[in-house]
Structure 1
């Protein structure tokens, strides 16, 4: 079981992804912005960050950069429906460029999400 921070500005997406992760027996803390994620990451440890890329205000790309600078080694799964006015491949390439360990396209399937988490979870959190 991994401790996961989930960041997405859309409440229904957070609810769906949280349920998927909880069905995989993971604990989930969710938040609606990159700024809130930074605050939570600074106050307690997590095993994995799952973040949307395109959010109002500070985006997920900036959050990934912050994590790489302040929480090196924290695995990151980026989820995206694609950048505004750009092909979906752009989002995937940008997420990988800034350091996401895995990128999933929305709508995210439960099995693909849980598989990505299983691949990235620290060995002591795997069942």
Structure 2
């Protein structure tokens, strides 16, 4: 069982991904913005962070970059529907450059995300 911080600005995406993760036996805290996520990360540590890349205000790429500098060991799964007005590969490449351990394209499947969490938590 992993403790997971889930960040996405779209409530229905958060609900769906949270349910997937909880069905896998994980504990999930969710937030709708990078600012809220950073407050949670200052308050406690998580086994895995799952974040959307493209959100209003500050994006998930900046969060991943800062996280990897501060909490280097915390694995990050980036989820994205793709960069606005860019091919999907742009999001994948940018997430990898920022330090994401895995990148999943939306819509994310339950087995897909549970497998990623299992792989990332199991490697520690």
When normalised by structure 1's length, the TM-score is 0.95
Deviation (angstroms), 1:69: 1.4
Which residues of structure 1 form unaligned runs of 5+?
A: none
Length, aligned pairs only: 124
Deviation (angstroms), 1:85: 0.4
Matched, 1:50 2:50: yes
Deviation (angstroms), 1:71: 1.1
Deviation (angstroms), 1:61: 0.1
Conservation of the 8 A alpha-carbon contact between 1:75 and 1:100: yes
Q: Partners in 1 of 2:49 and 2:122 — Cα distance?
A: 12
Aligned to 1:77: 77
Query: What value does the CA root-mean-square deviation take over the aligned residues?
Result: 1.1
- Show CA shifts across 1:92-124 (max 9, x none): 110011100000000000000000000001568
Which 4+ residue blocks in structure 1 deviate beyond 3 angstroms? none
Q: Partners in 1 of 2:33 and 2:121 — Cα distance?
A: 23
Which residues of structure 2 form unaligned runs of 5+?
A: none
Deviation (angstroms), 1:66: 1.0
Matched, 1:15 2:15: yes
Q: Partners in 2 of 1:38 and 1:13 — Cα distance?
A: 20
Deviation (angstroms), 1:70: 1.4
When normalised by structure 2's length, the TM-score is 0.97
